[in-house]
């Protein structure tokens, strides 16, 4: 990058917040995936106006701008594959308002999700989307990837809670979408245009979120199955039966073993699969739902169904779920986490397809995830230093996507498209759909400077 431009940009954010040294830029060359690409400059702006000023300079000189939250993304979204500026949002980390009467919150995008969740909880309210990465990820990142979490089955995912956004566009202009009134419909839903846009359409600088009531009671259960197919059938049957659990998570045998190895908490290592189920609501309803859930599980050939007797027991079960990623990391270091998702009714077929693909390419693959959403998280455990194996991995990934799409599903339930899934987006959308996406991108970001090389800006080379 031209030194004069670097000086100009540095003047905007201040010396301390412009990182030019190679060693520092290197720390911004990756996210939670296995790809690397170096930025030319890292800027840590402290305000919306600084961001707008940076964008204006970048626009003038045709420099790519890659917005970055905590870089915990799983599709390469924050990796500057075309170089340019990495714009780190973590200094914008304040809660502007939590309104308990009208039940909304206004926050800055760089706040760590967990810090926001704690503040909402303190105010006596509830914000349901809770990705497993909430301790480190940012809300801006959550919205940009449309993050989901275990509560998604009943409460929905991030997009169901975004009321409005303030966004800085590629040329530095500032727009506001939506407003604090839930139900605002003056014009198309621009907010949704930016939700899940992965930094390719604008830089989100302020967020308005809907809040809801805390459930009065909840109960956690674990159902143990001999065969994963039965667990899959349970999920589709349960969802069809009318009672919607808060959470419905699946873990297959390899996952159970990995977690048990890691935590030693007495999980059933012989089981083909387990389902972790939570129901919430007012205490009477919870009791009724527990009975119902247990019956469905039993009807679908569960070996046993247990309800956690104490909060400690329940916490242990959720800890088991949260430990899946690290536990798998211990088996094989490179964890390719896919989140191809299918309609709930097709889960049994998807499970069969995943197992077939694992076998075909002789790969260690575990299945766990938000089954209630149809989001299965097939994870391939491999080693990125093993070139031959990585070649099989990339073929297997392609087949996973094809299988999901064939069952009427999607490439990504929650991790986004980013760089890694960009080549396959056209499969899901079709040529015309993909072109439409390109046209939208072109209209909003005509010079294609925002997070280039990703999503609709992907060109097969």
Nearest CA among 76, 137, 376, 408 for reference residue 249: 376
Compare residues 251 and 305 and give the one whose CB is closer to ligand FAD. 251
Residue 203 to residues 79, 125, 195, 245, 266, Cα–Cα distance (Å):
15, 28, 11, 35, 46
First CA to last CA across the chain, in angstroms? 25
Interaction between residue 341 and ligand FAD (CB under 6 A)? no
Interaction between residue 312 and another protein (CB under 8 A)? no
Interaction between residue 67 and ligand FAD (CB under 6 A)? yes
Interaction between residue 258 and ligand FAD (CB under 6 A)? no
Pick what 114 binds: ligand FAD, another protein, none; C-beta below 5 to 8 Å, kind-dependent. Answer: another protein
Pick what 58 binds: ligand FAD, another protein, none; C-beta below 5 to 8 Å, kind-dependent. Answer: none
Interaction between residue 71 and ligand FAD (CB under 6 A)? yes
Interaction between residue 198 and ligand FAD (CB under 6 A)? yes
Interface with another protein (CB under 8 A), residue total 38
Pick what 112 binds: ligand FAD, another protein, none; C-beta below 5 to 8 Å, kind-dependent. Answer: another protein
Distance CA 412, CA 261 (A): 29
Interaction between residue 318 and another protein (CB under 8 A)? no
Angle in degrees, 0-180, between the axes of helices 387-406 and 425-444, rounded to the nearest 10: 90
HSE of 243, CA atoms in CB hemisphere, 13 A: 24
Q: Residue 214 CB: number of other CB atoms within 10 A?
A: 12
Distance CA 447, CA 370 (A): 38
Q: Find residue 87's DSSP bridge partners.
A: 43, 67
Interaction between residue 231 and another protein (CB under 8 A)? no
Site string for ligand FAD, 101-130 (x = CB under 6 A): --------x---------------------
With vertex at residue 437, the alpha carbon angle to CA 435 and CA 438, rounded to the nearest 5 degrees, is 65
Angle in degrees, 0-180, between the axes of helices 3-13 and 48-61, rounded to the nearest 10: 170
Interaction between residue 88 and another protein (CB under 8 A)? yes
* 135 Cα distance to chain centroid: 13
Torsion, CA 321, CA 323, CA 327, CA 328, rounded to 10: 60
Interaction between residue 378 and ligand FAD (CB under 6 A)? no
User: Which of 338, 414, 445, 457 forms a contact with ligand FAD (CB under 6 A)?
Assistant: 414
| Structure-token pair, residue 142 | 């959550």
Site string for another protein, 42-61 (x = CB under 8 A): --x-----------------
Interaction between residue 338 and ligand FAD (CB under 6 A)? no
Residues 436-455 close enough to bind ligand FAD by CB under 6 A: 451
Residues 37-66 close enough to bind ligand FAD by CB under 6 A: 66
Q: Are strands 41-43 and 85-88 parallel, antiparallel or unpaired?
A: parallel
Interaction between residue 67 and another protein (CB under 8 A)? no
User: Which of 10, 176, 237, 323 forms a contact with another protein (CB under 8 A)?
Assistant: 323
Interaction between residue 32 and ligand FAD (CB under 6 A)? yes
CB of 310 to ligand FAD, least distance (A): 25
Pick what 55 binds: ligand FAD, another protein, none; C-beta below 5 to 8 Å, kind-dependent. Answer: none
| Structure-token pair, residue 175 | 């727009």
Interaction between residue 203 and ligand FAD (CB under 6 A)? yes
Distance CA 145, CA 417 (A): 8
CB of 19 to another protein, least distance (A): 7
219: phi then psi, degrees, rounded to nearest 5: -145, 135
CB of 235 to another protein, least distance (A): 27
Distance CA 162, CA 165 (A): 8
Interaction between residue 177 and ligand FAD (CB under 6 A)? no
Q: Residue 389 CB: number of other CB atoms within 10 A?
A: 18
Interaction between residue 11 and another protein (CB under 8 A)? no
Selected range binding ligand FAD among 9-17, 55-63, 69-77, 272-280, rule: CB under 6 A: 69-77
Q: Residue 23 CB: number of other CB atoms within 10 A?
A: 7
Interaction between residue 247 and ligand FAD (CB under 6 A)? no
Pick what 88 binds: another protein, ligand FAD, none; C-beta below 5 to 8 Å, kind-dependent. Answer: another protein
Q: Find residue 95's DSSP bridge partners.
A: 107
Compare residues 335 and 346 and give the one whose CB is closer to ligand FAD. 335
């Amino acid at each position: 990058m031209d030194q004069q431009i670097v000086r100009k940009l540095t003047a905007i954010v201040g010396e301390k917040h412009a990182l030019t040294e190679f060693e520092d830029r290197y720390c911004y060359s990756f996210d939670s995936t296995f790809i690397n690409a170096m930025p030319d400059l890292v800027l840590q702006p402290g305000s919306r106006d600084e961001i707008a000023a940076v964008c204006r300079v970048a626009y003038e000189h045709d420099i790519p701008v890659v917005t970055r939250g905590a870089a915990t993304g799983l599709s390469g979204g924050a990796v500057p594959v075309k170089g340019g500026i990495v714009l780190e949002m973590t200094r914008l980390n304040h809660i502007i308002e939590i309104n308990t009467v009208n039940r909304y919150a206004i926050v800055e995008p760089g706040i760590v999700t967990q810090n926001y969740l704690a503040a909402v909880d303190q105010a006596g309210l509830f914000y349901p989307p809770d990705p497993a990465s909430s301790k480190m990820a940012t809300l801006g990142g959550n919205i940009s990837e449309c993050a989901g979490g275990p509560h998604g089955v009943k409460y929905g995912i991030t997009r169901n809670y975004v009321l409005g956004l303030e966004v800085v566009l590629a040329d530095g202009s500032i727009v506001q979408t939506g407003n604090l009134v839930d139900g605002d419909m003056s014009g198309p839903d621009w907010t949704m245009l930016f939700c899940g846009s992965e930094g390719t359409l604008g830089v989100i600088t302020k967020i308005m979120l809907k809040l809801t009531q805390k459930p009065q009671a909840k109960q956690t259960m674990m159902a143990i199955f001999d065969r994963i197919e039965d667990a899959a059938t349970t999920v589709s049957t349960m969802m069809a039966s009318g009672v919607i659990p808060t959470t419905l998570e699946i873990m297959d045998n390899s996952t159970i073993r990995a977690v048990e190895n890691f935590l030693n908490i007495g999980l059933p290592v012989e089981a083909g699969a387990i389902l972790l189920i939570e129901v919430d609501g007012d205490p009477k309803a919870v009791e009724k739902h527990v009975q119902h859930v247990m019956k469905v599980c039993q009807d679908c050939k569960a070996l046993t169904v247990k309800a956690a007797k104490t909060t400690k027991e329940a916490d242990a079960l959720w800890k088991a779920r949260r430990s899946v990623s690290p536990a798998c990391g211990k088996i094989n270091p490179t964890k390719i986490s896919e989140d191809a998702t299918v309609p709930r009714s097709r889960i049994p077929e998807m499970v069969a397809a995943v197992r077939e693909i694992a076998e075909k390419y002789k790969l260690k693959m575990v299945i766990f995830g938000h089954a209630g959403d149809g989001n299965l998280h097939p994870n391939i455990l491999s080693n990125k230093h093993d070139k031959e194996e990585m070649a099989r991995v990339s073929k297997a990934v392609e087949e996973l996507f094809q299988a999901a799409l064939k069952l009427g599903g999607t490439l990504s339930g929650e991790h986004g498209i980013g760089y890694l899934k960009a080549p396959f987006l056209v499969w899901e959308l079709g040529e015309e759909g993909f072109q439409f996406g390109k046209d939208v991108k072109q209209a909003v970001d005509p010079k294609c400077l925002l997070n280039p090389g990703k999503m609709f800006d992907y060109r097969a080379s």
